[in-house]
Every structure is written in C-alpha cells, then in structure tokens.
Chain A
Amino acid sequence: MPSRPMIGYAHVTKSFGALKAVDDVSLHIAEGEFVAVVGGSGSGKTTLLRLANRLIEADGGTITVEGDDVQSVDPVALRRRIGYVFQSGGLFPHLSVADNIGITPKLLGVPAADIATRVDELLELVQLDRAAHRERLPDALSGGQRQRVGVARALAARPRIVLMDEPFGALDPLTRDALGDDFRELHRKLGLTTVMITHDMTEAILLADRIAVMRGGKLLAQGTPVELSKSSDAYVLELLRTPRRQVERLNALLLQSGAA
C-alpha cells in the first residue's frame, strides 16, 4: 500500500431512493497511480467517481482528496483542482476549442495572455494542430478530436488528479487505441493520479496500474490484473477471462481462414 492516498474512500455509501448506488466502498488511490474502475451499467462506478469531486454528495463514510476531507473543502474550489474528462467530451458547443480548454484557468482568474499560451501548450500535448483547431467550434470536430480537447480541458489548470468518465467509450476502435495510449503517456509524463471508469476490461488491463471491480454498488475486488486473477469472486474471474477468451477465439478464427 502506498504511503499517502491522493484519493481515499472509506466506507462510503450513497443511495438514490431505495437503490444503493455505492454500498460501503473503501478504496485508496496512491499518488501517480492509474486506477480503472470496471463494472456494468448500474454497478455504481460513475457515482463513485462523481463523489470524489462532489458532483454527487455522499450519504455516509469519508472521502479525502490530497489529504483533505472533501466535506471540508468548497466544492467549486475542489472541482477546479481536479481534472474531469466527460463521456463524449462534454464540450460547450457555443465556445471555441480554445475557450473550452481555457475555461478552468479563466474561472481561476488567470490572465488571458497566459491562458492563450497554455491552450497552445495543451493542444500540442494532446496532439491537435494548433492553427487548424484553435478557433473551431466543437461541432466541427471528429469524436476523437473532441475527446482530445476534453482531455486538454481537464489538464488546463495543471491538476494533480484526473477523473475520467468512460472517456473513450464512444470512439471507433482505432481512435480509441491511439487516444488510450496517448493518455497513458501523458499520465506518466505529467505525474498524474488518474481514475478512469470503463465497462471494458481489456481497456482497463491495457491502461491501468490497478483495477477496481464494482457490481451492485459493492467493490468486489481491487488490485493489479495478476492480483485480481487470484480473486475468489466468480464475476471478477469471468470479467478477467473475457479478454483472453476473445483473443483465443480471434486467433482461432484468423488461423482457420489462413489455413483455408
């Protein structure tokens, strides 16, 4: 276990009416870690993520971010120091790419000239051509480009933590692969602490250091893929087997057609 958690959940619960979306979850994410939270729809993984920056308020338990109990921090200030990448971008359609990226620094009162420089840096970082994209509106971008802008926006205020809500889910496989790899590289280069939500175990294994599996609001297991494979939980094992089985079937099919 790492020394000081960047994000700590301790016995956290959250209900929506009768539904227990998050049920007594404890999870610690260390500085520099890349954690993927995997689960099906309704597993509570998105709720768990949003509790960290108080887009959703917990009913019980304690959540800490960089050592601070989130309840003791102003939620707006908290959100400004945590990067958040939304499903399919969440870009503001009436703002240009540059204005979307620069929004959090602007809210923090950074001078316009500094924001402009930062936007150029970020466009380079997420590998978008500055001249071609800076003044465009989000509608004029492809899905992959939009998500790159989403990542740039999340990084604009130099957060140490980035939360990602199924960031690559809606993209075509090639774009998805490229973007995943690029982000993993950014995570390493910038020394980020990243929590990513996904329903795709393959993606989780390829990108994350550690994987947390959620089902019905409960945290079933957490650890490296190797550690998870030693889990006694049938669902966790089933999830882990899926990528491998897919690869085997794929290989078999490809070999067959090659032999033919």
Chain B
Amino acid sequence: MSLFTDPRWGEALGHLPDYLGNHVRVSLAALALGLIVSLPLAILTRNRPTPRAVLLALASIVQTVPGLALLALFYPLLLLAASVALAWFGVSFSAFGFLPAMLALALYSMLPVLRNGITGLNGIDPALIEAAKGVGMTARQSLVMVELPLALPVMMAGIRTAAVWVIGTATLSTPIGQTSLGNYIFAGLQTQNWVFVLFGCFASALLALAVDQLLGLIESGLRRRSRVRTALGAAGIAALVAATLVPTMGRSSQSYVVGAKTFAEQYVLSALMRDRLQAVGLSAVARSGLGSSVIFEALKAGDIDLYVDYSGTLWANQLHRTDIKPRAELLAELQTTLAKENITLLGELGFENAYALVIPKKRAEALGIRTIADLAAHASTLSIAGDYEFFSRPEWAALQKAYGLSFRAQRQMQPDFMYAAVASGEVDVIAGYTSDGLIAKYDLVALDDPRHAIPPYDAILLLAPKRAGDERLRAALKPLLGKIDIATMREANLRAAGNDANSSPDAVAKWLWEKVGGR
C-alpha cells in the first residue's frame, strides 16, 4: 500500500475539524491573554529599568521550563485553585483541559511579546519623543500616536514569534485533557501510527505558518496605513476562529466522554467503550492521551465519564498503599474506598496489565532463569530498562526489597521501544507490561514473581460520580465485563502496535468487539 492511498489519512482527516478547532481556540485564546497581560506590562515598564529587568528575568525563567512540564504543572495548580474556589466562594470550574492549557500557553507567550515590546519602545529616537511633547501631546497621546506606531514592527515580530511558539507548544496540551493537533502526535507515537504523527506535525506547522502570515498582513497594513491589509489579516484570523466554532456548536453537551491514558491498550479500550455507547444510541466521544495523574482527577471532577484503570495503580497512587493484598481483597477494598468519593468501580474486564520483568526466552533458557528470584543472582552483570515512571514507583522498591535486586545499570525508555531494545540485546531486562502483545512478537518471557512483590493490576472500569446511577451506561458496558482475557488483549495490543491501516485504535476496537462476542 502506498503512503498516499493509506486509509489512515482519511481517518486523520475525519478528526481534523475537532482537533484543529480546539487547537486554534486554545492557541488564540492563550495568545490573546498573553498579549493583554504582556503589552501593558511592556508599556508600563519601558522607562523603569528595575521592574523591567525583573519582568524579563521572570519571563525568561518561564521559557526555560519545558513546554510539557509547564502544561503539566498547571493542572494540579488549577485543581487546587478550583477546590479553593469551591470551598470559599461556592464557584466551581474545571481544572481540566482548556483552562490549564490556555494559562500555561499564555505564560509561554509572554517572553517574546515583553522583550520585543520593551525593545521596540526603548529603541525610539528620544528626539521624536521630545518632538511629540513639543507639539503638545500628552504622555498618552505620545504613546498612542508616536511611540506605539514606531515600535510596531519590532512588537509585531515578537507577537508573531509568540504565535508560532504557542501553536507549536499547544500540541503538548493533549495529556492535560485539551484536545489539540497533539492528539494525532500522541496517539500516533503510542500506536506506531506514523501517518497520524506526520499529519499532526504538518497540520500544526501549517497552522503556525498561516497565523504568522495573517499577523504579518496585519502588521504591514498597520505600518503602511493600509486599512485593506489590516482588515484582510484581521478577517483571516476571525474566519479561522469562526470556522473552528462551527463543529462544536452541533455537538451536544450531554455527550459521554471516554478517557484514555497515553498508551495503545488505552486507546483501543476507549474506542471500544465509545463504540458500545454509540451502539445503544448514546452520544460519546473518546478523549485520549491523558496523563495518568490527570485522568483520575478528571474522572473525579466529572470532566470525563468513564475510563479503564488498573487496580494496582490506584492502590498505590490514589490510596497510597504500599502493602500488597490478594487480588480479590484488594479489589473489594478499592471498591469501597472509591465509593466514598462516589466513583463506581463497575467491574473487571478480565485481564491484568501488570508490570513484569521481561527477558528474551532464549536468554532465560540459557541462563536457567524462570523467576525473578533466579534473575537476582545474575542482576549485578545485567542492565534494566523501564518506562519513565517505573523506577520511581513503589513496585520497583518492593521488587528490590523482596529479591535483593541490584542491576549494573538502569535506563528509562519510551515503552514502545523497550521490547525491541531487549530483543536486540541493547538492554538485558525490561520492566514490561503483561498485556503487551510485543512479548509474544519478540519471543520474550515475563518472569514469575513467587514472592508477590508486584500487586495485581486488574483492568477495571470506573464511572464518574455523576454517572453513578446511569443505568443505560451500565447496560451498555456490561457486555465487556469479564470478557477480555489476557490472550485476547495481547493480540489486540499487538495489532495496535502494527503500522498499517488495520492497526488504528478504531479498527482494533472493532476486531476486539467481534472477538469478545459482539456482532
């Protein structure tokens, strides 16, 4: 199949109105807010060296924070603000998605606007400011009629830089729940769908270029005092905003939102659940690529309605438990604890996605390793790789403690690359996931955990507090409970890891539904 006839282009195009619309809205809102804050600050501090230096230093510090981290920081910050607002003023707002993304991006846009604003205003010939005074202008008139127009080219250059930065960085707002063109990129990276990755990159680059050109048109219009150019540029931006509002107007706010974390299994399961809801006539959308700390809070706050989590993850991260209980007891305790927050643990899907130490089958046989206890004897000569959170998770501490594990070296890796890395011998052991299809594909083996250091990780379906009594929803999801065994999920995940048209989450979800008894 040639690159151009790949049906995934069509699928990508289908998401475009939603992704692009949200991307434009959050970027332009952030840019507007950034300008509203930065321009007056630039004007106020232009003749005051100390506050000016402080302001520029602060803006520079913000800029050194990576975009992803800045966006991630705003979520807990707003969560805190939201709870304070609710407790003190009885006002509730969502700390999820648009608001944290817009605020973080606005902050990100400030440096170029401030720096160029101040440079532009300070670069004006003092004789001209004197002349403005001399012909009888007030300080305000001098600013509006002389200083701002003269600083305009430099200021606009800053605004254009900010626009390009914000549009680019907005692709990183997917994990905090803001739909953007980043959804293509995150989904594409997780499911090895390079068509999506390319599509997302091109779309955001084109958008950045388009907005930059429109701002350029406004700038040249203002500079040449051509109303036509200014109006054309402004109309272009207004049209962009208007166009992005159209698709949302049709959408009912009653839609069920199905959440998904940032890996392929979650993309597939959320697509499956969305399809189930739609099949019984409910309106549903999948909101994929959410960070694992964001997703639970989003459910609690009702920003998403349902998602699949794993018992051991909630046990450690939400209940902050370090002890390990047998599967059934753990689930029961989890259910009662979640119920106190009005979250419904609807049931298990039937498979477990636990961490497991994984090595190539041949290597295991050669070294005579079958369990983690066997591995411990060789650990000092071996290297281990895990995903970005594994080595800071309690499971790792528990494993080290239970088996006295001490590896020669440890590395962090993108989950999808770990399996290939251990298969090729680049690392000796990986902390993989038991439901991952790549274990079979690369002929790897997950080692037994005889001392039960790793808690059970049953996939469980959670419902938001506001959906607790929703019988239609429960009925729609019921056919999935207990139906997906580990072999089926592994095969689904393997399919999703492929790089062809049948590997898209939607296609795999359909396959999975047929497999578990639907039709």
Q: Is residue A148 contacting chain B, with contact meaning CB distance below 8 A?
A: no
Q: Which residue of B lies closest to A107 (CB)?
A: B136
Tell whether, in the assembled complex, residue B133 and residue A79 are in contact, meaning their CB atoms are under 8 Å apart: yes
When distances are taken between beta carbons in the complex, the residues of chain B under 8 Å from A91 are 131
Tell whether, in the assembled complex, residue A92 and residue B128 are in contact, meaning their CB atoms are under 8 Å apart: yes
Q: Is residue B150 contacting chain A, with contact meaning CB distance below 8 A?
A: yes
When distances are taken between beta carbons in the complex, the residues of chain B under 8 Å from A86 are 127, 130-131, 134
Question: Among the listed A77, A90, A94, A157, which residue makes an inter-chain contact with B131, where contact means beta carbons less than 8 Å apart?
Answer: A90
Q: Which residue of B lies closest to A108 (CB)?
A: B136
Question: What secondary structure prevails in chain B residues at the interface with A?
Answer: helix
Q: Is residue A190 contacting chain B, with contact meaning CB distance below 8 A?
A: no
Q: Provided the pairs A55-B130, A90-B127 are in contact, do residues A84 and B135 lie with their beta carbons within 8 angstroms?
A: yes
Type the 1/0 row for A25-36, where 1 means its CB is closer than 8 Å to any CB of B: 000000000000
Question: Among the listed A87, A93, A94, A107, which residue makes an inter-chain contact with B135, where contact means beta carbons less than 8 Å apart?
Answer: A107
Bound-state CA distance A103–B149 (Å) is 15
Question: Among the listed A55, A87, A94, A153, which residue makes an inter-chain contact with B133, where contact means beta carbons less than 8 Å apart?
Answer: A55
Bound-state CA distance A104–B128 (Å) is 15
Q: How far is the CB of B132 from chain A (nearest CB, A)?
A: 8
Question: Among the listed A80, A93, A94, which residue makes an inter-chain contact with B136, where contact means beta carbons less than 8 Å apart?
Answer: A80
Type the 1/0 row for B135-177, where 1 means its CB is closer than 8 Å to any CB of A: 1111001000110011000000000000000000000000000
When distances are taken between beta carbons in the complex, the residues of chain B under 8 Å from A103 are 135, 137, 145
Question: Among the listed A53, A93, A94, which residue makes an inter-chain contact with B134, where contact means beta carbons less than 8 Å apart?
Answer: A53
When distances are taken between beta carbons in the complex, the residues of chain A under 8 Å from B130 are 55, 86, 90
Q: Is residue A260 contacting chain B, with contact meaning CB distance below 8 A?
A: no
Q: How far is the CB of A77 from chain B (nearest CB, A)?
A: 8
| A-B residue pair count with CB separations less than 8 angstroms | 51
Tell whether, in the assembled complex, residue A153 and residue B150 are in contact, meaning their CB atoms are under 8 Å apart: no
Q: Which residue of B lies closest to A156 (CB)?
A: B135
List residues of A (32-83) whose CB comes within 8 Å of B's CBs. Answer: 53, 55, 76-77, 79-80
How extensive is the interface on chain A, given as a class?
20 to 34
Q: Which residue of A lies closest to B152 (CB)?
A: A94
Q: Provided the pairs A90-B130, A92-B128 are in contact, do residues A76 and B146 lie with their beta carbons within 8 angstroms?
A: no
Q: Which residue of B lies closest to A91 (CB)?
A: B131
Q: How far is the CB of B505 from chain A (nearest CB, A)?
A: 55
Q: Provided the pairs A94-B149, A107-B141 are in contact, do residues A55 and B134 lie with their beta carbons within 8 angstroms?
A: yes
Q: Provided the pairs A55-B130, A92-B128 are in contact, do residues A104 and B150 lie with their beta carbons within 8 angstroms?
A: no
Bound-state CA distance A179–B295 (Å) is 78
Bound-state CA distance A242–B130 (Å) is 33
Q: How far is the CB of A5 from chain B (nearest CB, A)?
A: 22
Q: Provided the pairs A92-B146, A93-B150, A94-B149 are in contact, do residues A76 and B127 lie with their beta carbons within 8 angstroms?
A: no
Bound-state CA distance A94–B149 (Å) is 7
When distances are taken between beta carbons in the complex, the residues of chain B under 8 Å from A76 are 136-138
When distances are taken between beta carbons in the complex, the residues of chain A under 8 Å from B150 are 92-94
When distances are taken between beta carbons in the complex, the residues of chain A under 8 Å from B138 are 76
Type the 1/0 row for B221-242, where 1 means its CB is closer than 8 Å to any CB of A: 0010000000000000000000
When distances are taken between beta carbons in the complex, the residues of chain A under 8 Å from B145 are 92, 103
Q: Which residue of A lies closest to B133 (CB)?
A: A55
Type the 1/0 row for A80-124, where 1 means its CB is closer than 8 Å to any CB of B: 100010110011111000000001100110000000000000000
Bound-state CA distance A163–B130 (Å) is 14
Tell whether, in the assembled complex, residue A107 and residue B137 are in contact, meaning their CB atoms are under 8 Å apart: yes
Tell whether, in the assembled complex, residue B135 and residue A153 are in contact, meaning their CB atoms are under 8 Å apart: yes
Can you offer 10 A-B residue contacts whose CB atoms are under 8 A?
A79-B133, A79-B134, A86-B131, A90-B127, A92-B146, A93-B150, A94-B146, A94-B149, A94-B223, A107-B141
- Known pairs A90-B134, A92-B150, A94-B223. 16 more at Cβ < 8 A? A53-B134, A76-B136, A76-B138, A79-B135, A80-B135, A80-B136, A86-B130, A86-B134, A90-B130, A92-B145, A93-B128, A94-B146, A94-B149, A104-B136, A107-B141, A157-B136
